[in-house]
Structure 1
C-alpha cells in the first residue's frame, strides 16, 4: 500500500459514508477502507471498482471492528437507528422490556456506536489513529431541559458522544463531531413530496409552525466536504454540516423557480404532515421538528460553533439551486 494515511469509513455504503469516501478518493496520500457487513452487495462492489478497500465487519462484534480499523490514521463513523427501529424482531423485545420500539432502537444504536469507539480506542488501533470523526446530533433532552423526550434518532448519537467523553478520554482527545443537517432528498421518502396537478402545477405540503431557517444538506456530496476539513484540522471540533440555511417555504419556492413550474404551498398541522407514517415514527418526527423549531437544530449547544469557513476558508459546499438543477425529478411526472 503506497498511501501514507488510511481513512476507515463506517457506513460507507450509505449517504454520509459514500460522500466521505468520494471526497477522499482522488486525494494523494489517502487510502480509503470501507466497513460493511456485506462486501458482495452492489453498493460495496461499486466502491471496490473505484479503488476503495472493502472489508467485512459487524458493529455488534468489537473484535471484527478492531481488525478492520488496524492501521487507521482516521475513522469516520455513522450509525443508523432506523435499521433497528424497523426490524420486526425488535417490536416484541421492546414490549417485553416495557419501552417503545423507538427507545429500544436508540439503545441498540448507542451500543453499536460504543462498540465502534471501544474498537477505535484499543491499543492496536490507537497507536496510529489521530482523528475520530463521529456523525452525531444534538442532545434533545439536555438542551430542551426535558421538554422533548421522543427525539431518539438524535439522542442515541448524543448519548454515545457523552459516553466517549466520559469513559474513553484517550479517544475523546481525537474526537470531532459533525451534525449533519436535514437531507434535501428527504422528499423521496414521501413526506413533503410535490404532487402534480392536472394543469401541470404542483401542490406541496409544509408543516405548520414558525417558519424558521433550517440547515438543509445535499448529503451525498457535502458530508464529505465537512469531514475533509475536520481531518485537515486538529481534533476537538464540532460542526453543523449544511449546504444552505432556508425555510421550508423558501426551499419549495426555489424548487418551483428553478424548474419553472407553478406551485401551491399548503401549510398543514403536524398530525396531517406525518399521517402516512406509523404512529411510533410520527410521534418521533413531531417531537424532533418541534425541538428544532424551538431550540434550533443543535439545541443551542455552545460547543457546536465552528463553521465551514472557520475550518477552511477555501472549502465550498454545493447550493440548493445546484441540487435542484442536478436532481432527477422524473418520478414526480
Structure 2
C-alpha cells in the first residue's frame, strides 16, 4: 500500500515542484500517493494536479481542524508558507500549527522549507531579515518535536530577474543591474521550480537526512556574471552597477528596510554563511536530478528588455 505524501501549497512553485518531482521519479512515484493541499481546489492549477491522479484537498491554514484533516493518515509531509510581510508572527504560527498537526497525525517524516538564519550566521549582528527568521523559528520549533525532520534551504530564486534584479535601461542604451553587492559577491541561485529535485532527495532517504538540511542551489554567480549571462541571453549590453547602501530602494511591495538588510547580509556574510562552498557542494552531490543553470533558465524563460 502506498504511503501518503502530503504537500502543502501544492499549487505554488515549491509545492508544485515537489509534486511533479515525485510523480516523475521512478521509485518515489511507486512508494507514495500524493495529497495536494491548496486553498482553492477549484483553481486551474489544482485541477491540473487532479488530472495527474493527485488527491487534491482544500484546506484553510488558519483552521486547525482543516489542517488536521489534510494530514490524516500521512506518512511524509512537505510544508512551506508564503511570506507574509505584514505579519511575521502569523506566518510562524501557521508553520508551527502544521508541524503540531503532523505529529498528532502520526506522520513519520516532516520536511520544512526554511532558510539560513542571518541572526545566527552573524552572531546577532544582522537581525532585521525577519522574512528569513520567521521560517527559521519554525525550523527550530520542529527540531524540538517527536518527529523525524529535514529542511530545504532554497537559494535566491532566478525568478527574481523578473523584478528585484531586473536590468533597467540607462540613457546610453545600456541596461544596468543595480544592487548593493560587490561585483564579485558570490550569490547562490536556483530556479524555484527545481525545488522538488532537492526535496525528493530528502524524501527518498529520511534516515540519512534526519536533522539535516539541503541547500537548493544550481550554481553560484557573481553580479558581473549575472550581467554577462543576461546580456548573452537577451542580446543587450548589460552591466552591473553597485549602489551605495543609502541609495538602494527595494521595488514595491517589498519592505525596503528588510530587503536592504538582506542584500547587505548576502554581500557581507554570504547567503549560506562561512560554509557556503560546502553547502553548495553537498547539495549538488545529493540532488535527485540535475537543476537548471542560469543560462538554461533564461533560455526557457526569456527576459524581454
Other-structure match for 1:115? 97
Equivalent positions of 1:40-189 (< 5 A) are: 40-82=42-84, 85=85, 101=86, 105-122=87-104, 125-126=105-106, 129-166=107-144, 168=145, 170-171=146-147, 174-188=148-162
2:180 pairs with 1:208: yes
Other-structure match for 2:192? 219
Deviation at 1:202, TM superposition (A): 4.2
Other-structure match for 1:320? 294
Task: Indicate conservation of the 8 Å contact 1:143/1:301, yes or no.
Answer: no
With normalisation by structure 2, the TM-score equals 0.88
- Counterpart pick for 1:251 among 219, 223, 226: 226
Other-structure match for 2:267? 293
The whole-number CA distance in structure 1 between the counterparts of 2:67 and 2:54 is 17
Deviation at 1:35, TM superposition (A): 0.8
The whole-number CA distance in structure 2 between the counterparts of 1:155 and 1:131 is 23
Deviation at 1:196, TM superposition (A): 5.0
SS in 2 for 1:239: strand
Other-structure match for 1:11? 9
In structure 2, list runs of 5 or more residues that go unmatched.
none
With normalisation by structure 1, the TM-score equals 0.81
Change (3 A) 1:240 1:26: closer
Other-structure match for 2:22? 24
SS in 1 for 2:273: coil
The whole-number CA distance in structure 2 between the counterparts of 1:159 and 1:197 is 41
Q: CA RMSD in A?
A: 2.4
Deviation at 1:111, TM superposition (A): 0.5
SS in 2 for 1:318: coil
The whole-number CA distance in structure 2 between the counterparts of 1:56 and 1:119 is 16
The whole-number CA distance in structure 2 between the counterparts of 1:309 and 1:323 is 17
Task: Indicate conservation of the 8 Å contact 2:234/2:303, yes or no.
Answer: no
Other-structure match for 1:90? none
